[in-house]
Structure 1
Amino acid sequence: MSFLDHLEELRWHIIRSFGAILVFGIAAFLMKDFVWGVLILGPTKPDFWTYEMFCKVSSALGSDAFCIDEMPFIIQSRKMTGQFSMHIVSSVVIGLIVAFPYAFWEIWRFVSPGLYDNERKLSRGAVFFVSLLFSLGVLFGYFLVTPISVNFLGNYQVDETILNEFDITSYVSIVITLVLACGLLFQLPIVVYFLSKAGVISPEALVKYRKHAIVVILIIAALVTPPDPITQLLVTFPLLLLYQVSIYISRVVVRKREEKMAEEEAQSSL
């Protein structure tokens, strides 16, 4: 295929990806009651699943310290276009999240023919694992990081005379940022896998610069989360765990690469 043919092929993959996002986005836009009443505004309600689980754990420990009876804040729209614009933004984001596996599969269909047979074989299952990690990150961000952040910020007061009345734009921005950031940050093992395959990084380097990585993870957690230490730690701990998993993945990749090189040298010497 010529360069222009490749561009034409890429264009259709991108069009199909955006088409899927658009279809799911329109569906989310039409399901306004469920999307807003259950999903987006769910973390603002005391009967949200995460809060109920915290209350059950607290009750099992003989306390009700983590039970939430009310959320002492209100969400309002201070702009004429506030609710409509957030309705569109939330629909697009939900469409992106739901269509992500298909969109990534489309892009992978364009990239994979350019790989060598051994590279294509070693990268088998990439779509599944990328989609799985993204979904786990989104669920982690929505069911754990977001409700704790909303509860902390919604209850925080410097003085009792100051009421917490949040604009809908601010609230939706926090929810979207936390959910998407967790989904992307959970791709760390995949990134390490391909960088290890390319020989860019090694498990020795990951171990050597582990302390530096911890600092970088803390900075990233501080950038993508609200300014409260609880949420930052909630994002930091799984990232540290994923970093440790990435070290193991890098070791496996490098070991297999060295074994293959040894086999090729042995065959060439015969």
Structure 2
Amino acid sequence: MSTLKIALQKSGRLSEDSLSLLKKCGFSIETESGELKASVANFPLEILFLRNSDIPQYLMDGVADLAIIGQNLLAEKEFPIETIMPLGFSKCRVAVAVPKAFSFTSISDLNGLRIATSYPETTRRYFKSQNVRIELHQISGSVEIAPNIDLADAIVDIVSSGNTLAKNNLKEVAVILESEAVLAVSPKIKLNSKIILERFLFRLQSVLRASQSKYLMMNVPNTKIQEISELLPVLKSATVVPLSLEGWSSFQTVINETAFWDVIDKLKASGAQDILVCPIEKIAL
């Protein structure tokens, strides 16, 4: 029987979030600490735990059929690897940062200066597009310390909250690209693996839809049902159940969480009462 092989970062926050997502999809993952491969008891899926920077090559070679990986790494490698969907976690950006004392007005201020980075190709492309000449120093790990030890005048690195930059007396001055975890597929995935992939994607999409949605219930006057229906984007049609209180109904639907906050005042103004918002585990369409 064919098995779908998915590559994950072997350690770190991206690995933890990826495993959490797979478990929410109902995959029973059998793994022990330090293992580089894990099987799934209830689905033809095998998990490969790899060094993050090696994952694009494994996809290119067809060793892995899929991977959960950061967009920033795919951009750095520039391999012809298709991205199936964004996953909504591990959001960050590749940014240029300089010492706080640096008087920065534009990216041209870095012309001729030393830039330290773990993303040399991304950095080269960006500064070339800006017509800025740089002296590039490729290093791995602890990029933020480079200006403090006079290895570089500025850096290009991954930024999430910005706390690490602040701790190293640096400030962000330009964003090269935005990134998040994505599901990527090997260009060499076999036909029988593609069949399993469809089943895998159905589970994944059901969980991702649910994470972005909420189940909404409220009591509304019958005379306002149509008005409230027009305020809310719904999957297909809202459920309306008559209450024992004459002239009132329970109005139930599924909405995007952000949509609720956009219309809450309008719902109340239209007479909605006892508004209840509940989480959803999965949505299968």
TM-score (norm 1): 0.23
Structure label with greater radius of gyration: 2
Higher helix share: 1
Q: Which has the higher strand share?
A: 2
